[in-house]
Amino acid sequence: MKQGPGGVTAPKGFQAAGVHCGVKRGKGDGNQPPMSRMPEVLDSKKDLALIVSEQPCVAAAVYTMNRVKAAPLYVTMDHLENGEAQGIVANSGNANACAPNSHEHAERMCQLAAAATGLKPGDFVVASTGVIGQELNIAAIEKGMPEAARALSRDGSDAAANAIMTTDTVKKEMSVTCAIGGKTVTIGAIAKGSGMIHPNMGTMLCFVTTDCAVTHELLSEALHEIIPRTFNRVTVDGDTSTNDMCVVLANGMAGNPLIEWKDDGYTVFLKALRQLCQELARAIAGDGEGASRLITCAVREARSEESAERLAKAVVGSPLVKAAMFGTDANWGRVLCAMGYSKAPFRPEYVDISFSSAVGAVAVCRGGMGLDFDEEAARSILSQDEVVIDVHLHEGEHEATCWGCDLTYEYVKINGDYRI
């Protein structure tokens, strides 16, 4: 299994594009903040993405569990009732949620994409991301769609990845390849997510493409198995978005034997898809709004995977833990405190805690009690781009890993004037 570039156009038969149509006009529409590490995105303000397959695809999706759902999700749910799709159209800069004519605008986006590509409106998944409660500038999308269609290319994944960014500071794009039945199968993806990340489904927008030949039933089952162990284990700020969606399109052009049973081919495909989703989940956590470092919490030797996940998610989601990580303060008591209110069963007197990073590791708690440790060494460890909080419960054989980020002044600045 190999990881590589190319994103959604890495698999055979897929083209993509990203253009500026005018939905984004400034910071207040969800454009990148001044701290963006991608000035080319700030300059172009790409805000309309298009992904199209040469062949019809089987499709599967997972959606936000927020009771308030954006109109594009309902339209996509309707279009995917038959388990098929051939394209994705998405805008950034406006969520098209809780706003006038939102359902009509979502349907209109599919109609425009269909007219520009020669497909049918029902062939498209539609997505939006940005500010909630403001009417979508559909006239801008009407004007920009022909340009997006003309720009479709095998090299268009980068532009599409840029076009779905809001407060992201870096694009999220990758692909993996694996061998199934003697054929090379490729899975590619682009994703966005930086704030309002606390999933009960799929965290953000993630568009996955593959040339694997697989039935809709097994594609859907694979996605639903992977999401809880990847994207659902990320938290940035405790808020679950109205627009979260993860969609997979599979066109079968790799020529592998059709995966219609849970055989060796399915196992290989599942492993590759999980690797892809896990790396994107880590990228989203590390690019949390205002974040300066990725925080990973691994809980081991738990009574069950469910309890391990609950404990790890409580730790990476704790504002006090996140603030301590920002300040490079090895305040392990906050870790144990977060575990205590997680409602997961564990014995505090059995707990060991350590912090680690690329420069070393330090044990700070054993058997629920504090250890003497070198504060300066701990501060050096916590100052790295990725910090791991290792928790050993000594109660079972199960484990889970969750991802988050630190809580910085920049997060408050970004969200204090998001619409201004």
* Residues labelled as active-site residues: 203
- Show Cβ contacts of residue 90 under 8 Å, excluding neighbours closer than 6 positions: 48, 49, 126, 127, 128, 129, 163, 164, 205, 207
The answer to whether 184 touches 272, Cβ cutoff 8 Å, is no
Token pair recorded at residue 84: 């098929």
End-to-end CA distance of the chain: 45
- What are the CA-CA distances from residue 198 to residues 19, 146, 240, 292, 402 (Å)? 29, 35, 5, 18, 11
What is the CB neighbour count within 10 angstroms for residue 187? 27
Q: Phi/psi class of residue 260: alpha, beta or left (left: φ > 0; alpha: ψ in -120 to 50)?
A: alpha
Q: Give 103's Cβ-side CA count (13 Å radius).
A: 5
DSSP H or E stretch at residue 125: strand 124-131
* Amino acid letter, residue 127: A
The answer to whether 187 touches 208, Cβ cutoff 8 Å, is yes
Burial group, residue 37, by CB count within 10 angstroms (0-12, 13-18, 19+): exposed
- Show Cβ contacts of residue 403 under 8 Å, excluding neighbours closer than 6 positions: 233, 234, 235, 281, 282, 285, 286, 294, 295, 296, 297, 316
| DSSP-derived 3-state class of residue 13 | coil
CA 105 – CA 241 distance, rounded (Å): 19
Given the structure tokens 């720009």, which residue do they identify? Answer: 151
Interior/surface letters 46-75, b for 16+ CB within 10 angstroms, e for the rest: bbbbbbbbeeebbbbbbbbebeebbbbbbb
CA 77 – CA 58 distance, rounded (Å): 14
